[in-house]
Amino acid sequence: MNSGMRDAIPPELLGSAVEAGRAAIRRLDEDDVPARLRKVASYSGGRLPAPLAKALIAVLDEDEWLRQKAVKESSRTDPTASGPDGASALFLLRPDGWTFEIGRRVEQLANRKTAGRVSELDRRVAEATEHAAEAKRRWQQAKDQIAELEALRREEVETVRAQLRELREMDRREDLDQAKVVAELQAAREEAEAAHLREMEAGVALKQRLHRVEEQRAEVERRIQTGRSTAWGSGDPVALARHLDALIRTVEADPALLEFTTPSVDREWKLPPGARPDERNAVDWLLRQPRAFMCIVDGYNVTHRLSGGTDATARERLNDEMSRFKLRAMTPVNAVVVYDSAVNPEVETGAGPGGVWVRYTRAGHTADDEIRRLAAETDDPVVVVSSDREVREGSEQHGAIALWSEALTAWIQER
């Protein structure tokens, strides 16, 4: 159904379908609820407000799987029934000619509403005529009262003038008091501005120290990428990434910054309250973490959502964005992007931009298998990014934080 026709259907005509849809959503796991229906799922009142009802109708119209779930929850599935129950059954089951039949019922409902409005307008006209006669009578009464009040007004004017003279004197005294307060506040403001200036100077000094540390880190990464450093073990990409982050942590930094780079064993490795695994605030939280971690990305799962494809351009964009992710992080991050070699067998595992490791699966192995294996074998805290439910749940069994691909793409597109 096109959106124009769908918007023309009054939500009350599809009341049974809306209730069946709400019942179906309640049975879904929280991670399976579509993003557009989270407000519907969290609404605990009675009848849904019109905006939420329209949102649910739109998703039901587009999502056949959810409509089938709603049909199972509905006890009113007779398309020949009259009223909202029949219209809801037509909308969910969609037999031949259902759009024409719903259009006819929309027209019938509109005709009934129009007839009701005409009757209501007739009643209001009669009431307005009656009110006009009453208003005329009251106007005459008010006219008589005005004459009486005018006489009283002249007596009160003199009283008010005397009160005004007293108030002016009070205002003069208050102005003097306020001038004194303003002078005191001005002095306090000048002191606060001086303190703020001192804090700004201290902040500039701290930024300069941070800049020096970032330059040292960039120099180490540049040497690794150009091959000028050779003491790197067997050359395995993930092991090499670990060596790189270990080296960066040993770079001499300002003592004032050490408290921000030392991992805390007391911190639980899980998302804090308010950070959702399918929203960008979870990525922002990761970038602020004071502990090093490994970030494993389901490559093609993310490129589909970020660029709509799996070609070289889409892969290069994701690899570049993960390089920027590493640079934005407070502490070193082992970033590994895993691609399924069954999709593009001509490419090979190797170092990507900015220290990102690009990993293609071996023959007979899928990206899902490789991601779960990496999550199980690493000793570091792990974050896995994928919208594949089995990948997320399999990684979480090994203590990983599992984010949806939508969270990373939202961070990339909105930063």
Q: What is the pLDDT of residues 12-34, one digit of tens each?
A: 788 888 888 888 888 888 888 88
Residues in the chain: 415
Query: Is pLDDT above 90 for 196?
Result: no
> In whole numbers, what is the pLDDT of the chain averaged over residues?
81
The domains of the chain, with CATH numbers, are 3-95 (no CATH), 264-414 (3.40.50)
pLDDT in tens, 237-286: 555 555 455 444 444 333 333 333 334 443 358 899 889 999 999 999 99
In 10 A of CB 102, how many CB atoms? 24
Q: Is pLDDT larger for residue 137 or for residue 226? A: 137
User: CA–CA separation, 8 vs 15, rounded Å?
Assistant: 15
State the pLDDT at residue 267. Answer: 39
Please check the confidence at residue 322 and state whether its pLDDT lies above 90: yes
- With a CB cutoff of 8 Å and minimum separation 6, the contacts of 24 are 66, 69, 70, 72, 73
What is the per-residue pLDDT across 272-311, written as a single tens digit (0 to 9) for each? 988 999 999 999 999 999 989 999 999 999 999 999 988 9
Q: Indicate the range of 4-8, 103-107, 181-185, 243-247 predicted with least confidence.
A: 243-247
How many angstroms separate the Cα of 394 from the Cα of each of 277, 334, 376, 398?
15, 20, 9, 7
By mean pLDDT, which of 79-88, 235-244, 285-294, 358-367 is the weakest?
235-244
pLDDT, position 317 = 95
Q: What number is the average pLDDT over the span 63-71?
A: 85
